[in-house]
Every structure is written in structure tokens, then in C-alpha cells.
Amino acid sequence: MSVDADSISSIVNADASYSKKLGTVCGVLTADCLPVFVCNKEGTAVGIAHAGWRGLVDGVIESLIESLDCNGEDLIVHLGPAISQLSFEVGGEVKSQYLSKNKNFKIALLI
């Protein structure tokens, strides 16, 4: 779920927030998950997502990008710090969820 930070006046629980208004702050808290900052090249639309494995499977990044209503070629994305593969392990059920969303992920796992 992406929240329009321009339309709220208090803190809300969401995996992503975005703004198209100068002076509005977007933020997320992360621990081992990946913070993903997205903006258009003009800086007139910005957003940030908390990208954990559940959010990724549920399309949090896609939802945030759609909320910005921008051409993909006009976007800039910055990835923040996250836990590494050596420090975090998931089971086969997580792998299955990813593969059920996009069969191209299976090809990426083979590379």
C-alpha cells in the first residue's frame, strides 16, 4: 500500500509513501529490509518504500511507481542498506511465492 503523504496529517502504517508537493516528507523505517527511494528527474514526485520480501511479493515497488504517475524512463531509484544473503535465510515457501508472481525469477535464480 502506498500512501499519499500530501493528503495525511499524521503518521500512518504503510509500506510506502509518496509526495508531489514541495516540503512534504516521506519516510519509512527499516531494519533488515531494503529502503527504496524513487523520484522523477525533476524532483517533483518522490517516494520511498520499505521493501521486505513480503512487500516485494505483494508489489510494493510497483505500487509506489504507479502512484508517482511518471514515465519509467524519467525515474531515478536509490537503494539503501539491507541485510545480506549470508545473514538472512528464508525457506522454500518464500521462493515459491516469488516464482508464482513472475516466472522470470526462476531464470534469474539459474544465472
Q: Name the more confident of 50 and 88.
A: 50
The H-or-E segment that residue 86 falls in is none
Q: Decide if pLDDT at 7 tops 90.
A: yes
pTM of the model: 0.81
Specify the fold of 2-110.
Answer: CNF1/YfiH-like putative cysteine hydrolases (3.60.140)
Q: What is the per-residue pLDDT across 42-81, written as a single tens digit (0 to 9) for each?
A: 999 999 999 988 888 899 999 999 999 998 899 999 999 8
CA–CA dist 55, 1 (Å, integer): 9
Residue 31's SS3 state is coil
Q: Which residue has the higher pLDDT, 98 or 110?
A: 98
Domain parsing of the chain, residue ranges: 2-110
What is the pLDDT averaged over residues 69-98? Answer: 86
How far is residue 19's CA from residue 57's CA, in Å, rounded to a whole number?
23
Q: What is the average pLDDT across 13-35? A: 91
